Amino acid sequence: MKGSCLCGDVRFEVSLERLGMFQCHCQLCRKQAGTASSCGAIVETCDFHWLSGESRIGKWEKESGFSSHFCKRCGSSVPNQFRDSGLYWIPVGLLDDSTMVTVANLFVDEKVSWSNVDSSVNPHQTKPRVDSLIRSVLKENH
């Protein structure tokens, strides 16, 4: 699976046929994505490869540790290393052609009333244990 930012400067490839993804409905993710929820996947470093534009990536971080990585030219959210773990978080909307399986919905308590996004798959009222979320996402990737 190949993906890119809006302008095409940042390009990457994921060497998997399908991805487990989660939808986050928290206010921070909504503001970052500009949508009702943020859809992301987590992949192991060995399954992720930069094709171009890694030097074109900017980063903004809150004191809490929440960060936003983006293309400096077009502003698209881009993949980034997930908590210095050897895993990458990927905004799945960047993928050109992909097969997704939703494995979890996070912060369902913060879902906005106007959202029509189906949050019934494995709903978590707030943030689940990170290790549990990672295991469930990676399980669907293979």
Extents of the domains making up the chain: 2-140
The pTM of the full predicted model, rounded to 2 decimals, is: 0.87
Nearest to 78 by CA among 33, 34, 16, 45: 33
Which runs of consecutive H residues, i.e. helices, occur in the chain?
Answer: 27-33, 130-140
CB 122 within 8 A of CB 21: no
Residue that the structure tokens 């905004």 belong to: 91
Q: Centre a 10 Å sphere on the Cβ of residue 138 and count the other Cβ atoms it contains.
A: 18
Query: Are residues 89 and 69 in contact, defined by beta-carbon separation less than 8 angstroms?
Result: no
CA neighbor of 25 nearest in space, from 33, 37, 34: 37
pLDDT in tens, 36-48: 999 999 999 999 9
pLDDT by residue (tens digit) across 102-114? 999 999 999 999 9
**Cα dihedral sign for 97, 102, 103, 105?**
positive
**Cα 94 to chain centroid, rounded:** 9
CA distance 104 to 14: 21
Assigned CATH for 2-140: 2.170.150.70
pLDDT surpassing 90 at residue 9: yes
The label of the residue with tokens 């990170």 reads 130
Across the chain, which distance is largest between two alpha carbons, in Å? 39
DSSP H helices in 9-124? 27-33
pLDDT bin (cut points 50, 70, 90) of residue 33 is confident
The pLDDT score that the predictor gives to residue 140 is: 83
Which tens digit of pLDDT belongs to each residue from 43-95? 999 999 999 999 999 999 989 888 899 999 999 999 999 777 889 999 999 99
